[in-house]
Amino acid sequence: MSTLPKILVFDSGAGGLSIAREITAVLPHCDLVYAADNAMFPYGEMEDDQLISRVLEVMGHLIEKFTPDVAVIACNTASTLALEALRARFGTTFVGVVPAIKPAAKTSSTSVIGLLATPATVEREYTNNLVKDFADHCLVVRVGSSKLVEYAENEIAGNPASNEELEAELQKLLTTTNQTPMDTVVLACTHFPLLKERFNRLNGWRNVQWVDSGSAIARRVKFHLEEAGKLKPAQLRPQPSLMLYFTDTDTHPSIAKCYQQHLIADNIFGTISAHTGAVKN
């Protein structure tokens, strides 16, 4: 059995890969389980009650199966709704990805910021409170886009959307009558950083600062592992493993390969495997 710390990264689909990449950059000597609840994808259009019970159900299954040292809810839609319920139910250490409104409001020069998320996240009480607490002095333009979630998933699967399709979604951020330019956009869905390089190449979007929570989350995970005394000296470390886990039992092996490719750019993993397992709800 591996003696390495084990990190579970969880999302509805490919979005959490943007977080997992940041985590492996900061913590390359940890076993990583990447779990996608793709049987219920997308989360951004689910009813609140249904989503809370689904996330509790799936996390119960994953915690029992993998006993992670830290579980990362790499999904703004799930974290902004279910983090409290997860912490109340399980003894596991959770790190939740939530909209990076605070750093965006701090670094914006024009104080006009975009908030790009799922339709569910843009309307959450949790999001309202973040805006109230940290961006009260800003104009925050909120856009909920399920299309961008789908485009990001397709991008990872090797089926990219056109520039026009991406542009049409981003244009929705500009439907304000405000004259001051928007200089910062919060990517408040973990799927969206997967499209950041594409966004940066689009006319009119090159000078925008895209802000997400990835590196802050990686630092938070490291803090928890350090605090628990789980990070051992380098010479004692075996090579880490990567396991991909999908709740849709019909997931084609080519999808697992695409996910994997997004994570192993620097080849840190000794063993890599992919599994499926249905979770009843």
Catalytic residue ranges: 75, 189
Comparison of 11 and 155: residue with beta carbon closer to ligand DGL: 11
Using an 8 Å Cβ cutoff, are 62 and 35 in contact? yes
Angle in degrees, CA 231, 233, 235, rounded to 5: 135
Alpha carbons 250 and 230: distance in angstroms, whole number: 36
**Site for ligand DGL contains 11 (CB under 6 A):** yes
Nearest approach, Cβ of residue 181 and ligand DGL (Å): 26
Q: Which stretch binds ligand DGL (CB under 6 A): 8-16, 169-177, 195-203, 247-255?
A: 8-16
Q: Which of residues 94-113 bind ligand DGL (CB under 6 A)?
A: none
Q: Which stretch binds ligand DGL (CB under 6 A): 107-115, 176-184, 189-197, 237-245?
A: 189-197
Nearest approach, Cβ of residue 128 and ligand DGL (Å): 16
Among 5, 12, 59, 263, binds ligand DGL (CB under 6 A): 12
Judged by CB under 6 A, the number of residues near ligand DGL is 17
Among 61, 191, 220, 222, binds ligand DGL (CB under 6 A): 191
Among 182, 189, 243, 258, binds ligand DGL (CB under 6 A): 189
Q: Per-residue string for binding with ligand DGL, 31-60, x by CB under 6 A?
A: ----------xxxx----------------
User: Of 166, 110, 153, 111, whose CA–CA distance to 136 is shortest?
Assistant: 111
Among 5, 15, 144, 193, binds ligand DGL (CB under 6 A): 15
Using an 8 Å Cβ cutoff, are 12 and 81 in contact? no
**Site for ligand DGL contains 118 (CB under 6 A):** yes
**Site for ligand DGL contains 22 (CB under 6 A):** no
| Residue 93 backbone dihedrals phi, psi, to 5 degrees | -80, 120
Q: Count the Cβ atoms, other than its own, within 10 Å of residue 83.
A: 18
Query: Whose structure tokens read 């979005």?
Result: 15
Nearest approach, Cβ of residue 241 and ligand DGL (Å): 24
Binding residues for ligand DGL (CB under 6 A): 11-13, 15, 41-44, 75-77, 118, 121, 149, 189-191
